[in-house]
């Protein structure tokens, strides 16, 4: 029994007294206590140590007060489990020293036993559920196959992921082979997360908006749809595609419980494009958290008025930025909590 089940009710499309609120990347880098742990432990050590992942996951619940926790982890633990070496380098972010950029390298990528390779994630879920003790729901997540492919082929972060796109267009058979391997691993991974106790899952397609609509269908959405089909009867699925407003209609017919929206798509357009009958999540510009708390409060209330309090989850349009003051993050959450229509 979950004491605060606002998120789950919104995902079911029920009428609520106010929208639930949480923030993408809320468990992490803007919190001073997180930075203390960062100084002691490297990134993937934090991900792979269940006790640390639990502490970081619960931290914003105690300090900022959102209506849901999201497990501290990373989308790249999936390709790591697939036998791919990935480093998190200071100032650079994720780096794949040997990119998966030929058909031969794709064939070497394995579909792993996720129970064995990712057990530390499931242990973190169990520890976190014990720590939360029914206070709020716990969200698990995974990256979309396309977004993961971008890092694996490009070898590092990019504004354009031109090498990843080039690979898809020049070696489409190998690209689809890699995407399917990622998809199969992700489905198994998320199913185990559900068994471990997560109450909802979110798929992050951070780089879907870099593809034109036809290529998005070909190289991203059809793999997202496979994952949603595999999970939708077991757990509510939130599908988030940054810059993917053009796909909202199809996404709304996918069986996902909710769709994430970034800040470049107005609420009325998001409602129109998605058909008006599905829960939407978003879409506060993360940079707007630099505004004064009183301004944040006003903008949050305006955002809720535009989306409507029902079939809506208040969130940012992407992850929280690392130098946002904790008081401003708290102002965002508090503004939603005090909202009354």
Binding residues for substrate: 25-29, 44, 74, 151, 206, 318
Q: What is the DSSP letter of 132?
A: H
CA distance 325 to 336: 18
What is the sign, positive or negative, of the torsion defined by CA atoms of 263, 268, 270, 276?
positive
Q: Which residue do the tokens 């929280």 mark? A: 320
Q: Which residue do the tokens 């109450």 mark? A: 199
* Peptide bond preceding 283 in cis form (omega within 30 of 0): yes
Q: With left for phi above 0 and alpha for psi between -120 and 50, is residue 203 left, alpha or beta?
A: beta
CA distance 327 to 63: 10
- Tell me whether strands 200-205 and 87-89 are parallel, antiparallel or unpaired: unpaired
Each as own residue / partner, the long-range contacts of residues 216-219 (CB below 8 Å, 24 or more positions apart, any chain) are 216/244, 216/246, 216/247, 217/247, 217/250, 219/146, 219/149, 219/168, 219/175, 219/176, 219/179
CB proximity list for 102: less than 8 A, separation 6 or greater: 171, 174
Count Cβ atoms within 10 A of the Cβ of residue 40 and give its class: 0-12 exposed, 13-18 middle, 19 or more buried: exposed
Distances in Å between the alpha carbon of 304 and those of 33, 297, 333?
30, 11, 12
- Chain centroid to CA 122: 17
Contact between 58 and 34 (Cβ < 8 Å): no
Phi, psi for 6 (deg, rounded to 5): -55, -45
H or E element at residue 201? strand 200-205
């Amino acid at each position: 029994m979950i004491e605060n089940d606002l998120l789950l009710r919104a995902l079911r499309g029920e009428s609520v007294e106010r929208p639930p609120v949480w923030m993408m990347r809320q468990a992490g880098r803007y919190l001073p206590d997180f930075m203390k742990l960062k100084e002691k432990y490297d990134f993937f050590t934090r991900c792979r140590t269940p006790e640390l992942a639990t502490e970081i996951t619960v931290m914003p619940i105690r300090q900022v007060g959102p209506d849901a926790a999201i497990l501290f982890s990373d989308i790249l633990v999936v390709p790591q489990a697939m036998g791919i070496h990935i480093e998190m380098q200071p100032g650079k972010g994720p780096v794949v020293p040997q990119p998966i950029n030929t058909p031969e390298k794709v064939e070497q990528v394995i579909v792993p036993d996720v129970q064995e390779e990712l057990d530390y994630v499931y242990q973190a879920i169990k520890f976190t559920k014990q720590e939360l003790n029914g206070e709020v729901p716990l969200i698990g997540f995974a990256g979309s196959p396309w977004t993961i492919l971008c890092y694996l082929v490009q070898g590092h972060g990019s504004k354009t992921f031109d090498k990843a796109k080039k690979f898809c267009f020049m070696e489409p058979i190998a690209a689809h082979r890699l995407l399917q391997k990622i998809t199969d691993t992700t489905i198994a991974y998320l199913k185990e997360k559900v068994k471990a106790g997560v109450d909802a899952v979110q798929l992050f397609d951070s780089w879907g908006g870099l593809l034109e609509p036809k290529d998005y269908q070909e190289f991203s959405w059809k793999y997202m749809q496979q994952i949603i089909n595999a999970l939708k009867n077991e757990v509510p699925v939130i599908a988030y595609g940054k810059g993917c407003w053009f796909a909202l209609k199809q996404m709304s017919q996918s069986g996902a419980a909710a769709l994430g929206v970034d800040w470049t798509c107005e609420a009325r357009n998001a409602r129109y494009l998605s058909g008006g009958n599905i829960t939407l999540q978003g879409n506060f510009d993360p940079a707007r958290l630099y505004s004064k708390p009183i301004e944040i409060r006003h903008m949050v209330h305006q955002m809720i008025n535009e989306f409507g309090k029902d079939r809506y989850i208040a969130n940012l349009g992407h992850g929280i930025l690392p130098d946002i003051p904790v008081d401003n993050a708290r102002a965002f959450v508090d503004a939603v909590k005090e909202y009354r229509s």
